[in-house]
Structure 1
């Protein structure tokens, strides 16, 4: 029992408080984990918004080699693949290919995609008890595939912003691998270095 409790504490699911006991840790969602970047209204750039989300397909597929490498387990042979488009004011922003572990997401295929809402991570927690606590995003540039070109309303081979995300649970286990193409004219990169004036 002590070993099991220690493992749950290590995974971030339980919180030990000296003198009071052990408690189920309440998940602390962070808005920056919900999306790859902050989307802002053109008229009010200080106000972040959440784009509309449409799941185009969900199916069980053989694990692609790069996804298997990200998951780090040769024993896993299949996963669930979601295809999703994100829109703002009716215009496409992102085309996403999302790969999720099996058997972690057994039962996802029976969920109604239209009922999942614009954010997936709350669904992962509520339906499967899986908390995403950290993620690594890598931004580069590439060319549109046939699928991304169709949903982003671009020509095949047109330039796109390319994002790759690896998301982990509190124990550091990779839960999700995501490949994304976005319309390049909608992307801006801004970083602030050094101290800000008072």
Structure 2
């Protein structure tokens, strides 16, 4: 196992505390001087560790107030994880998600690989219709490890406060920090075409996403089908 530098050790300790729930979402971390004293490191070492946590979206700095554990509010959802806009639009539109189905199943080979669980392990499968301006523009097929999301119910999902990722965080302590995605062209099957208001075999965009947590563990496997007639996938890189 490789040796960690001082700031990497500090980052690891803070991350472990976050995973254990010592610092709940939205709560401020201790003042820098207090946390540095607790961890027996310099302010500079602590700041370097926190800088990386900020860069990774795990914590956020609020000017004049301190550093807080990131929450999945609507702003974070729209600007970090929601990427569908109207053609040539320069801003995102607030989404609405309607649950089509939630079923219990056993993991396929692909689900097991993406969620890093055993093939045949129990999973939840969800199908969502995502609406913009009251038009269904995307279908999400979501797979979740039942061990992480025990006792998930249709009622709980429908009546959640906030986004899906807020539900993961608030109810199950599973915080999505980042996602990795692959895009490909495809054709809409009969059911997807009906939901999206398309003819069968119409061209669509397929987005395959793994959403990961604080320790880079996969929390969600999602395959999304996007109607690109009036909408497109938006991505912005800052370098």
TM category (shorter chain) comes to: 0.7 to 0.9
2:26 aligned partner: none
* Counterpart mapping for 1:140-159 below 5 A: 140-159=184-203
What secondary structure is seen at the aligned counterpart in 1 of 2:192? helix
Considering fraction of residues, name the structure with more strand.
1
2:85 aligned partner: 39
2:138 aligned partner: 94
**Among 102, 110, 125, which residue is 2:169 paired with?**
125
1:27 aligned partner: 70
Per-residue Cα deviation, 1:4-41 (whole angstroms, up to 9, x for no partner): xx97634461568211569x962254333442x14359
Per-residue Cα deviation, 1:91-113 (whole angstroms, up to 9, x for no partner): 11101101111111112126433
**Among 109, 113, 129, which residue is 1:69 paired with?**
113
**Among 11, 14, 27, which residue is 1:9 paired with?**
14
Q: CA RMSD in A?
A: 3.3
Structure 2: runs of 5+ lacking an equivalent: 1-10, 24-28, 41-58, 60-67
1:180 Cα deviation (Å)? 0.7
Task: Tell whether the 8 Å contact from 1:163 to 1:180 is kept in structure 2 after alignment.
Answer: yes
2:6 aligned partner: none
Structure 1: runs of 5+ lacking an equivalent: 1-5
What secondary structure is seen at the aligned counterpart in 2 of 1:108? coil
1:61 Cα deviation (Å)? 1.1
Considering fraction of residues, name the structure with more helix.
2
Q: Which whole-Å CA distance do the structure 2 matches of 1:109 and 1:135 have between them?
A: 24
Q: What is the number of residues matched between the two proteins?
A: 187
1:83 is aligned to 2:83: no
Greater Cα radius of gyration, structure 1 or 2: 2
What secondary structure is seen at the aligned counterpart in 2 of 1:137? strand
Which TM-score applies when normalising by structure 2?
A: 0.66
Task: Tell whether the 8 Å contact from 1:39 to 1:51 is kept in structure 2 after alignment.
Answer: no
Q: Which whole-Å CA distance do the structure 1 matches of 2:80 and 2:210 have between them?
A: 11
1:172 Cα deviation (Å)? 0.5
Which TM-score applies when normalising by structure 1?
A: 0.78
